[in-house]
């Protein structure tokens, strides 16, 4: 297994729409394992393949406190969403250090394939429902900050660009000496 590089907002690759997974092989299993390792190391509760620059419809989620309940969603689709909405304080591994309120359906029913290509359905609420919707947005090329006002989004974008420049400067400084 190996850690994967997580793209940072506003990287344009985060806006690519993912293609369906059509081959269920050892390469896919390795990608799932690498994504799980990356998720736990980050640490986070969900990671979409888009975030690691793989534009396939694949999401890994683990909302447990013990990091032992990994769920894999391949080619997921929401087949039902509740009319009831809830506001959650969301964050994202691609937008580190930024959290804000996003309103989403309180419950969803998702249909997906597992790692072996077998179909399943799952009804979720609470954190799992939020996570499923958040990660599925990534597969559509959408980052959670796009739910925020243009002013907030622009501030976050500027902050992320500034942080990226600073990290690059620090990395160059280490190489020079």
Q: Respond yes or no: is residue 135 known to be catalytic.
A: yes
92 is in an annotated binding site: yes
55 is in an annotated binding site: no
Token reading at 110: 């998702």
Prediction pTM value: 0.94
Instruction: Provide the residue-wise pLDDT of the chain in tens; the chain has 177 residues.
Output: 789 999 999 999 999 999 999 999 999 999 999 999 999 999 999 999 999 999 999 999 999 999 999 999 999 999 999 999 999 999 999 999 999 999 999 999 999 999 999 999 999 999 999 999 999 999 999 999 999 999 999 999 999 999 999 988 988 876 655
Q: How far apart are CA 28 and CA 11, in angstroms?
A: 24
What is the radius of gyration, based on Cα positions, of the chain? 17
How many C-beta atoms surround the C-beta of residue 1 within 10 A?
A: 10
Output DSSP code: residue 28.
H
- Which one from 37, 121, 135, 164 is the annotated catalytic residue? 135
Output DSSP code: residue 21.
P
């Amino acid at each position: 297994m190996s850690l994967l590089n997580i793209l940072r907002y506003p990287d344009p690759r985060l806006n690519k729409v993912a293609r369906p997974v059509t081959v269920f092989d050892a390469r896919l299993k390795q990608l799932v394992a690498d994504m799980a390792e990356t998720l736990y190391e980050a640490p986070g509760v969900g990671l979409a393949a888009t975030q690691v620059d793989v534009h396939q419809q694949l999401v890994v989620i683990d909302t447990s406190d013990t990091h032992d309940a990994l769920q894999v969603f391949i080619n997921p689709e929401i087949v039902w969403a509740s009319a009831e909405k809830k506001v959650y304080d969301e964050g994202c591994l691609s937008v580190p250090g930024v959290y804000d309120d996003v309103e989403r359906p309180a419950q969803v029913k998702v249909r997906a394939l597992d790692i072996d290509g077998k179909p399943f359905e799952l009804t979720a609420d609470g954190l799992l429902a939020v996570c499923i919707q958040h990660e599925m947005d990534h597969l559509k090329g959408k980052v959670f900050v796009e739910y925020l006002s243009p002013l907030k989004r622009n501030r976050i974008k500027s902050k992320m660009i500034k942080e990226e420049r600073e990290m690059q400067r620090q990395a160059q400084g280490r190489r020079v000496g």
